[in-house]
Each structure stands twice: as C-alpha cells, then as structure tokens.
Structure 1
Amino acid sequence: MSQQKRVGLTALGAVLSPLEGSGPRTEAVVQRLSAAISLGVMVDGQQLPSETVLADQLGVSTMTLREALAVLRQQGIVHTKRGRGGGSFIHGSAGVLEDTSLTRLQRMSIRELRDLGDEHFAITGTAVVFATRRGLPEDMERLRGLIDRLRESVDRVSARRIDSRFYIEMAVCAQSTRLTRAEVGLQVELSDLLWLPQLALVPAYEAVAHHDLMDAIEGEDDARARELAQSHIEARIRRLVALRLELRDR
C-alpha cells in the first residue's frame, strides 16, 4: 500500500468543490447539496459553511447560493437560524429521496439500466484499482468501519446510505476528486433503485462482499479487487434488470 502523503481529499470536500460545465448554476448547487444530503455525506443537524465560504467553495456567486438555499428551504431540506449561533443547517435528510424509485425504474429501458451498470463499473472499478495503489491505513480503517455499520444496519434507508458512502469513500481512498464527484452522482442515480424493497438486498450479505473486496485491496491485489467489484456490480444490475422485466410483464 502506497505511503505517499495524503492530499487532503474528503467526500465532503469533493462534493463542495467548484461546479463544472455550463447550465443553470442555482439548479446545479441544489442538486449538488441534495446529493450530499441524500447519501449521508452531510447529515441532519450539520451546519453548512457560511454563505461566503460555501459560495467560494462551489465557485458561484453569493446570490446564486442564496437562491439555491431558498429552494432547499422550500423543500424542507435546510433550515436557517438568525442571530447569534445562527446559520443554515441540514434538516429532514431522511426524506430527500422520495419513494418514487419504483415508478422511475418502470420508465427506464433495459438498455438504460445496463448502461448505468457499465458506468458503475467504469467509475468504481477504476476507483478500486487506485485505492489499492494509493490507499493509506486510515482509509482502510474508515472503509472497514463502514462495512461493520452496514452489517449491523437494521433498516433499508440507513443501509442504502452506508452502502453508498462505502463506494464514495472508495473513490476518496483513490485520491481523485473527479472520481469522487462521479461516484456521488452515480450513487444518487442508482442507490435508491438498488435498495428497492422488491430487490430485498440483505445488508449483512452486502457487507460480506465489501469485506472480500477490502481483503483484496489491503492485499494490494488490484486485479482481484477489480474482478470482485465487477462481479458484485454485475450481480446487482442483473437483479435490477430482472425486476424491471417482472414489472413489464405484470
């Protein structure tokens, strides 16, 4: 395992990095912050940085940030306190992703699902390889901790968040801001589908798969790690495709 100096990358740091591309900036800020909240990168009660600092981190104007915060307040995701000890705080993150995932799945084609699986493997498979080469002991400890939490999880929402956080932290372990942001976006799009009640994923079984992956990473076997990641991702996508076909035949 490489012992190079940590570059300071964190999941939250990647999420709050400057926006890229064109398009409506207010909407992009809303999507970025909503993603962080829905996946548990930012949690209930957590205070956001000041408007000036957060706008600077995201590379937008203060006015754009205020407009985005207003939208998030309307959605009940953020609340703002005035006066001493005030600021904007995360609120109601458990309801960020509404239970519309089954309807969304019904609207997706089999090709779209398979493309999503291909993207999952392209991003995660690459992150796994770099995590094997660049990960530090503290990274491994953090990932092992998430596996323990997943194994002990007793509800679907928390299991989904922990599972998603595992993949995001894997990209952090790879020390790549772009991979981390890509993984966050992927998990927002995919995780609520994978953890639909109809698929009946068992947190303890998913934890075993992550445990085997971690063994390969800590053993510095990047080929084996990539193979395990691919196998696990393919198995999940097959189950998702099977559910989509079942819904079509009803």
Structure 2
Amino acid sequence: MAPMMTESNNCSSNYGEVVLQQVNVLASCYIVDSTVSLKGLHYCTTGVAGAECSPFCPRARSARSQAGAWADEGGAALSIREECERFFCESMKTAFHGERNPSMNGSGLSGAYLQTPPPDDRLPDHFQQQFSDDKLPGFEVEAWLEVWDYAGGASFRAFVANDGEEKSLFVFFDLQGVMGRDLKKALMALIELADGPLDCSHVVTCIDRRIPADEAQSLSKSLQWVGFDMVTLDHWAHDLDVTSKRWMFMGMEL
C-alpha cells in the first residue's frame, strides 16, 4: 500500500490515464493550514510495484468530486476550518485556543483547581507569574483537516495541534460520520497520515458520546486492538483530569 500522495500542479493527461489502470484511491485528505491554503493527499493502493498516484489524474479528481469538494478552493478551506471548529467542546477551546483560566471562562474542565489566590505578596514567585500571565505557552491548532474514507464510507473532521516541540492529530468520530461504518482501513490511513506527512507523535480519536452504547463499545474495542487507550486532555491542556461532556478520548503514541 502506497502512502498519502500530495497534490501538485504537474500532471499530464496521458500519465493520468496510465495511473487510472494501476491506482485505487482508498482515502483522501484535504488540509487547511494557518494561511488558509488548501492541499490534498490521497491514500492509494498500486497495481504495479513502484507506481505512484498522479494527484490531478481523472481518478483523483473524481474522488474529490465524490467527497463534495468545492471548485472554489478558498471557500473550501474556510468551510473545512469552520466545520472542524464547530466540533470543539469547551475543554478543547480552553486547551487549544489559549484560554488558560478555566475558572473564569466556564471551560467545562474537570479537576481540582486552586481557590482564589491570596494577595501577590504572599505568593511564591512562580505562582505570581502563573496568575499574572494572560496566556501560558501550550498547544495551538496549526491545521484543519477533512478526511474521506472511500473503502468504508466514513468521513472525518480533524485538526493538528502543535506546541513547537511535538504535534498531535485529533480526529472527530462524530455520530453521523462513523455510525454503521467499517473503520478498519480508515484507521490505518489515519495512522499513516499522522505518522507520515503530518509528522505527529500522537493520534487522538474523539468519540461522540451520543453514539449508542453497544456501537461505542465495539468501536472502543476495535481502537484498543489497533493500539489506542483511554486518555484525557491533560497532556495538551497542562492540567489535571481534563475531560469532555461531548467527546470520549482514545489516544495512541506513534
């Protein structure tokens, strides 16, 4: 199985016709970066050893059309970003949008927090600095993603969080996108995407808590079989017992 192939503008129609006979596009991923530019990656199988996927060949264009992509790439980029951020719960907004004082912004984080601090002259220096900072350094979103799994019929919204030292891919398994879908090949594509082109050290699946209990249990078992475990957002939020009323988190270290 070939890795994700990046779209480019260099593709002859003749070469595309040859690739059509050798390549099967299993999944496509569209990435919007901080400059709101859009690029595409395709996860493919090849019929001939060493054959590559031509990004703008007719097959890739057809797959993109099936995914519901727009002719206006600027509009597509904005729409992908908006859809991803629509899935953010309060805990995610606090962890990834720089809102570092959960007791004041109603973030929904769970855990123990210090009560209202005493006057500054009674605090150690490091506590004075902590309470005086409006924004502590941490993870921020550097890219938003839309992923289409043609093998199982699933679709995902996702984002990449980066703190300058490591990156993590968060994938939303929302009710409408994964219910009744076969996710085996999609999981392999997501892991390859994170470990390869995105260069992430973690993958975190965000499982919709509205998914019926029996299907959620089956999904969590499948994720555990691949190597995922239950996690909280503690590592990314720099806090304790950070959970979500909307999502259940399962993570894997790459």
Bigger strand fraction: 2
Bigger helix fraction: 1
Higher RCO (CA < 8 A, seq sep 6+): 1
Give TM-score scaled by structure 1 length: 0.26
Give TM-score scaled by structure 2 length: 0.26
